[in-house]
Amino acid sequence: MSGSTVGAPRHWSAHLPGGGDPEEAFDLPAPGTLVGAWTAALAPEPDRPLLLDVGAGPDAWTTRGEFLDRTAGVATRLHAAGLRSGDRVLVSGPSSVDLAVAHVACLRLGLVVVPTNGSYREAELAHVVADCTPRAALVDHDGWVDLLRDLDGDLLVAPTALDGLPGADAREVGDERSALDTASPDAPAVIGYTSGTTGRPKGAVLTQANLLAGAEAVRVAWRWSDADRLVLCLPLFHMHGLGVGLHGTLLAGASAVLQDSFDPDAVLGDLGDHDATLFFGVPTMYHRLADHPDVSALGRLRLCVAGSAPLSADLHRRLAGATGAAVLERYGMTETVMLASNPYDAERRPGSVGIPLPGVDVRLAPDGGEILVRGPNVFAGYWGRPAAIEEAFVDDPDGGAPWFRTGDLGTVDDDGYLTIVGRAKELIISGGFNVYPREVDDALGLHPAVAEVAVAGVPSEEWGEEVVAWVVLADGHDCLAVDELRDFAREHLATYKLPRRVVAVDALPRNALGKVTRHELRLPD
Ligand code: MLC
Ligand code: AMP
């Protein structure tokens, strides 16, 4: 296979302080595990503030020392409850210090965290549970208790209640402490559910080393230091909030103010109240911030990062005009953590996702320009689906490591900047959340007024893309209101997947094989 290689080390060098040495390798911190690197970063100066629940008051900081103690304590309690390295654990709840403790305690014990969106409905949750067979669930959504009834009741605990779990008796404490932080670099650490290019959500298995590589690359590239403070309002069940926001904060020995939802007033207020230096958001958040009268407050930060969906060049320029600073756009995926970023010190180019991050190789497939990636950040495989890995990777023509197919289409310019120009995969990204059209088709198709349905994304200034449903009405029905369809589908789908418009059509466009051609679905004039 030929194809343009974007990611030669000379390109990484633009991410390194002072331009770096183009030939220099990118080394991960010893001992090569996320938990090892965190404990090394957080052990010195135990009284320094680390995490704050914004609702808990300005002085309620959890310090580094408290965080290490709490996570060790919870890990030993989980061990005493019978959990062992390799067991899968669902973790879900509003962003909070308790949730961060639950996540990190699991990782310190070698458990495999399955971060789960709290707005999942029964079928969505049931799929994840059946697929990864968790032994425990550290979740605090009332409605889920019944759905998780097959788990041992002692292992179904809200993140807020973990400190109250029974401890080990004194004889066992030594054993349990010695189970801490012993995971190997290639041990699975997180399973992130994503549909990848097709089909029902698959669990992407990320190892300790993958997650470390992902967080370390952005730590270096964004000059993230212990002097930084992040306002973190992204959910902690996706790579953006979890693999970058939380993991990067801990790795840098920095600090973060956690907000459990996105509110432009709260974000802009907290930046000043807490001397923040960093903000990370999806484009929908920036779109709302750009309309706020105090948007200029973003300009006082050291760095604003956008990702998870395209940040339009227009919005990039609008924000630059309003704040005097250029938002830095980067590109990531569940399977790869982060893979490219605009450079901190060089040009941040509107409309481009920048250059490959340190350690990451990127190339474009010769036939069609699919973005291919490999590196220490790239996941280890899909949980329980050895065959899926065959489709997900392509061999290297020179006999090197195989390349992961992102399903995104790209171009690269002469300076090595990568631009995402489309998707080979069926995916709608709405407000930074991924929506898989087929899953939505299936749920909407259950409505009695629907004979046939196909959904697709249409451009939206606020959401990036909006879910729209094209419907062929069943006999005896002459209309179907969008609210009716949304209310019906709420039972089956998380709300961000629900259509925002319904278009009634006589027939769906299909190809010669009868398959719906979604790209031909058009809004009426
Ligand atoms: C909420 N709603 C959405 C939605 N989010 N609808 C479509 N798309 C979304 N993303 C629904 C609500 O349920 C509600 O429905 C209605 O829209 C209005 O809600 P809202 O109050 O305006 O929305 P809000 O709660 O403010 O949420 C918007 C948001 C949120 C942008 C803050 O969507 C969000 O946190 N997005 C971030 C997603 C993220 O972290 N992505 C990272 C993926 S990792 P109703 O019917 O109840 O009124 C990844 C890799 C990488 O992609 O590169 O990072
Ligand atoms: P997920 O599977 O949730 O991790 O979503 C990953 C997908 O988000 C990628 O394959 C891209 O399609 C998209 N994505 C992430 N960052 C960007 C970005 N900066 N610009 C465009 N698309 C992005």
Q: Widest CA span of the chain, in angstroms?
A: 74
Q: 262 is written with which tokens?
A: 């996105």
Q: Which helix (H) or strand (E) holds 54?
A: none
Compute the distance between CA of residue 163 and CA of residue 157 in angstroms, rounded to an integer.
10
Summarised one tens digit per residue, pLDDT across range 178-207 is 789 999 999 999 999 997 555 679 999 999
Which region among 21-35, 71-85, 151-165 has the lowest average model confidence (pLDDT)?
21-35
Compute the distance between CA of residue 419 and CA of residue 409 in angstroms, rounded to an integer.
8
pLDDT grade for 316, boundaries at 50, 70 and 90: very high
Closest atom of ligand 2 relative to the 407 alpha carbon = 10
User: For residue 2, is pLDDT > 70?
Assistant: no
Q: Cα(414) to centroid of ligand 1, in Å?
A: 36
Residue 59 neighbours by CB distance under 10 Å: 7
Percent of the chain past pLDDT 90, that is, above it, reads 81
pLDDT grade for 68, boundaries at 50, 70 and 90: very high
Cβ atoms of 415 and 361 within 8 Å: the answer is: no
Which region among 26-30, 307-311, 353-357 has the lowest average model confidence (pLDDT)?
26-30
- Substitution candidate for ligand 1 out of 95, 239, 261, 282 with most atoms within 8 A of CB: 282
Q: Which helix (H) or strand (E) holds 136?
A: strand 136-139
Q: Cα(286) to centroid of ligand 2, in Å?
A: 16
- Substitution candidate for ligand 1 out of 433, 462, 483 with most atoms within 8 A of CB: 433
| Single-letter residue type at 172 | E
Is the CB of 332 within 6 Å of ligand 1? Answer: yes
Angle, alpha carbons 460-331-431 (nearest 5°)? 30
- For 321-368, the DSSP string reads HHHSSPPEEEEEETTTEEEEE--SSS---TT--BEEPTT-EEEE-TTT
Percent of the chain past pLDDT 70, that is, above it, reads 95
Is the CB of 278 within 6 Å of ligand 1? Answer: no
